Amino acid sequence: MTPPSAVPSITWDDGVIVAIDQRALPSEQRLLRIETISQLIESLQSLAIRGAPAIGLAGALGVALSARLHHANRGVGEEAVRADAARLAEARPTAVNLAWGVRRALARLESGHEAVLADALAMLDEDTTTNRAAVRRAADLVEALVPERPLRVMTHCNTGRLATAAVGTALGAILELADRGRIEEVLVDETRPLLQGARLTAWELGEAGVPYRLCVDSAAAAAMDRGMVDCVLVGADRIAANGDTANKIGTYGLAVSAARHGIPFIVVAPESTWDLELHDGSGIVVEDRAHSEVTGFGDTVTAPAGAAAFNPAFDVTPAELITALVSEQRTVRPGRARPGILPDAAGTAG
């Protein structure tokens, strides 16, 4: 699934965080070497590093970086590391993985900076293992839901290896289905305004040799109406206890359209994306981003001077519109459970 030569989206090298600069793809493959917490925060906020699992790992590696810079050991430097951790955790508000990664790495601080780094590196490995389990489970589910014909799947944003340590979530499941010979075509939503679909998902699918076409975001419902979509697979940034799911803006509209056309709508995300402290999605903080992302692209201005824009980075899809939420541990079918969500004890679609 992952090309053998693939550079990891985020890793650690001799005291620095090394990450693929996702802003430059697909035209340029550029690596960032991140040596300070301010640089890391800027990389997160500008989406050089993006995708919920990847930003969780960045948070953990950031705590390791801070602990190293402050020579944290047996209480020494602890206050400074905790201050850096607080800034990091707030860099982006919606994906719960960021605060989770920071919190988990901080829990090792008393044992010194080497222990923090060891745990952050373990998290990179765990991300790969958990995602591999989740994508297999999701692929099994899709095969069970649409058993007969070659699949035409639709996806939104980027949920592949770039958004994780490796493997991916929803896009990982699509690549798993491709490995099983089940994919006819992937319709990739462009994902306005920052084009994570057109730039990143298309790049990953091209790398893997999987047939795809870009889909104008606003053409998604029309594609479903024309019978071009058998299943929709997306990732998540935060899932509330009842299954309401925050993901890239446009996901909610896709779920409404999929329900209208009777098309399975599946969310693939690790357990670390669930926020069980939130009963439902109304408590999810949605990041609002700059007007300039909508009024132009790159250096080109496309709207009249002074135009304002509504630019939420995410929306929240109500659980009732989701056919299944799939993690490394369980397949949850919110439409069926009453009240709230019941984990599927057998680990398969209920």
Judged by beta carbon, residue 120 or residue 233, the one nearer ligand MRU is 233
Q: To the nearest whole angstrom, how small is the minimum distance from the Cβ of residue 126 to ligand MRU?
A: 15
Instruction: Give the span between the Cα atoms of 327 and 84, in whole angstroms.
Output: 30
282: which 2 tokens? Answer: 């109304």
Position of tokens 């995708």? 51
- Could you list the active site residues? 237
Q: Which residue is nearest to ligand MRU (CB)?
A: 235
Judged by beta carbon, residue 94 or residue 323, the one nearer ligand MRU is 94
**One-letter amino acid identity for 123?**
M
Q: Does residue 123 contact residue 60 with C-beta atoms inside 8 Å?
A: yes
- Rounded alpha-carbon distances, angstroms, from residue 11 to 43, 46, 75, 117, 254: 14, 18, 27, 11, 33
Q: To the nearest whole angstrom, how small is the minimum distance from the Cβ of residue 139 to ligand MRU?
A: 15
267 sits in which H/E element: strand 265-268
Tell me whether residue 310 is exposed, middle or buried, using C-beta atoms within 10 angstroms of its C-beta: 0 to 12, 13 to 18, 19 or more. Answer: exposed
CB atoms within 10 A of CB 149: 9
Q: To the nearest whole angstrom, how small is the minimum distance from the Cβ of residue 270 to ligand MRU?
A: 8
Judged by beta carbon, residue 116 or residue 326, the one nearer ligand MRU is 326
Judged by beta carbon, residue 116 or residue 123, the one nearer ligand MRU is 123
Q: What is the contact surface with ligand MRU in residues (CB under 6 A)?
A: 47, 50-53, 95, 157, 159, 163-164, 169, 196, 235-237, 247-248, 313
> DSSP class of residue 87?
H
